[in-house]
Amino acid sequence: MGSYRFILSGGGTGGHIYPAIAIANELKRRHPDAEFLFVGAKDRMEMEKVPQAGYKIEGLWITGIQRKLTLKNLLFPIKLISSLMRANSIVSKFKPHVVIGTGGFASGPLLKMATVKGIPCVLQEQNSFAGITNKLLKDKVEKICVAYDGMEQFFPKDKIVKTGNPVRSDLVELKVTKSESLEYFDLSPKKKTLLVLGGSLGARRINQLVADHLAYFEELGLQVIWQCGKGYYETYKSNQSETIKVHAFLNSMDKAYVAADFIISRAGAGAVSELCLVGKPTFFIPSPVVAEDHQTKNALSLVGHNAAIMIRENDLDKQFKSAFEAVFNSPEKQAELSKNSKALALPNATADICDEIEKLLK
């Protein structure tokens, strides 16, 4: 038998891209001669991140539907037809054995055309509230790999497999030491460290919160690793100091997690899965502008197990300091949050997803 061919499609944000790359890496480890092709949306971050990971990618002219009437919405039917035609051409030419969709605009047209051609497809849904693309595809795919319980409200029960979300391989088994990690960020081993994560694109409200509380963190004796996002770096880079390290993007997440004693983060599905593995006391500040408020639902899945703290953006001014100090001043609470979050981790997610994909190769 010749080598297998896989198409992976997903993008728009790191939460869709990195799971796809993790799945491809594991499949490549199992099948070194396999061929891989990614399909993403033109002008989105996957067109940069996927080639950096060593894979070829094709772009579709597709965007999501805006919530208000805009010119982009008027173009959507044209973009959709164009993307379906392009997806049909890609699938016909590449002839994949299996197609994997991790969500995002481009995966809709790509998996739609793959299912029309009878090619087996697997969905990977990262969030506790399913995305619209995956919901539209649910009846035509063979398997749907999920990270949360209760997904029967969105998908056929017989297709659901709870695997968890793929995370970067270097996070499954953290090999760097605390001292190495602190040295990497030029920080002191004598101080506690706060890691701030706003997602791959940055988070305006979290950045404002951190900027307003730099003096407060200094009073507590904290040093800060602050990932502010590419679009916000120019605004906040002047805050760089001996104890405040400002980064547009963190390329060494393993070192960032090991260095951290406390974490402030958005509640994207990838971040939640990673933070369960890491097991550090975490304060989730969900984005209120994502579809179906799914980040709040992701965070609540941990809060319900006493595994994290959640503060809504609207409540930050009133609640942040008291919530932070309640954890900062209590080693017992810190240990409890760490223990409970680690108990929710699913470290074998990538392997389990690839097991389901391999079942379809027959």
* Residues 178-197: tens digit of each pLDDT: 999 999 999 999 999 999 99
- What mean pLDDT is predicted for residues 79-102? 92
Closest to 29 in 3D by CA, of 52, 47, 54, 51:
54
* Window from 71-75, 255-259, 260-264, 307-311 with minimum mean pLDDT: 71-75
Give the model's pLDDT for residue 1: 44
User: Would you tell me how many other CB atoms lie within 10 Å of the CB of residue 67?
Assistant: 9
The SS3 assignment for 37 reads: strand
pLDDT attached to residue 261: 98
Q: In what order do the strands lie in the sheet with 98-101?
A: 57-60, 35-41, 5-9, 98-101, 121-125, 143-146, 160-162
For position 68, what pLDDT does the model report? 56
Predicted local distance difference test score (pLDDT) of residue 200: 67
* CB-neighbour burial class of residue 83 (10 A; exposed 0-12, middle 13-18, buried 19+): buried
Contact (Cβ atoms closer than 8 angstroms) between residue 18 and residue 166: yes
92-111 pLDDT, tens digit per residue, is: 999 999 999 998 888 999 99
User: Which pLDDT does position 72 carry in this prediction?
Assistant: 64
The arithmetic mean of pLDDT across residues 251-263, rounded, is: 95
Other CB atoms within 10 Å distance of the CB of residue 35: 17
Q: What is the pLDDT of residue 168?
A: 76
Was 295 annotated as part of a binding site? yes
Mean per-residue pLDDT for 299-326? Answer: 97
- Rounded to an integer, what is the distance from CA 56 to the centroid of its chain? 21
15 in a labelled binding site: yes
CB 286 within 8 A of CB 266: yes
Tell me the per-residue pLDDT of 43-74, one tens digit each, with 9 for 90 and over.
888 888 999 999 999 988 876 555 555 566 66
pLDDT band at 76 (very low <50, low <70, confident <90, very high): low
What's the whole-model pTM score? Answer: 0.83
Give mean pLDDT, residues 300-315: 96
- Does the annotation flag 127 for ligand binding? yes
Residue indicated by tokens 């008027």: 74
Are 131 and 44 in contact by the 8 Å Cβ rule? The answer is no
Where do the domains of the chain lie, and which CATH numbers do they carry?
A: 5-167+347-359 (3.40.50.2000), 170-344 (3.40.50.2000)
Q: What is the pLDDT of residues 191-244, one digit of tens each?
A: 999 999 987 678 999 999 999 999 999 999 999 999 999 899 999 999 999 999
Q: What's the confidence (pLDDT) of residue 43? A: 81
The reply, when asked if residue 14 is annotated as ligand binding, is yes
Q: For the segment 273-283, what is each residue's pLDDT rounded down to a tens digit? A: 999 999 999 99
Distance CA 216, CA 14 (A): 31
CA distance 180 to 314: 37
Tell me what percent of the residues of the chain surpass a pLDDT of 90: 74
Q: For position 2, what pLDDT does the model report?
A: 57
Which tens digit of pLDDT belongs to each residue from 120-166? 999 999 988 888 889 999 999 999 999 988 899 999 999 999 999 99
173 or 95: which leads in pLDDT: 95
Beta strand 309-310 with 57-60: parallel, antiparallel or unpaired?
unpaired
Q: Which are the contacts of 12, defined by CB distance < 8 A and separation ≥ 6?
A: 41, 44, 45, 46, 64, 103, 104, 105, 106
Q: How confident is residue 87, by pLDDT bands cut at 50, 70 and 90?
A: very high
Per-residue model confidence (pLDDT) at position 16? 85
Q: Are 223 and 193 in contact (CB under 8 A)?
A: yes
Look at the block and give the residue holding tokens 């009073």: 219
User: Is 104 annotated as a binding-site member?
Assistant: no
| 202 assigned to a ligand binding site | no
On whether 86 is known to bind a ligand per the annotation, the reply is: no
Residue 330 scores a pLDDT above 60:
yes
* E strand or H helix that includes residue 348: none
Strands of the sheet with 262-265, listed across from one edge:
244-247, 222-227, 192-197, 262-265, 282-284, 309-310
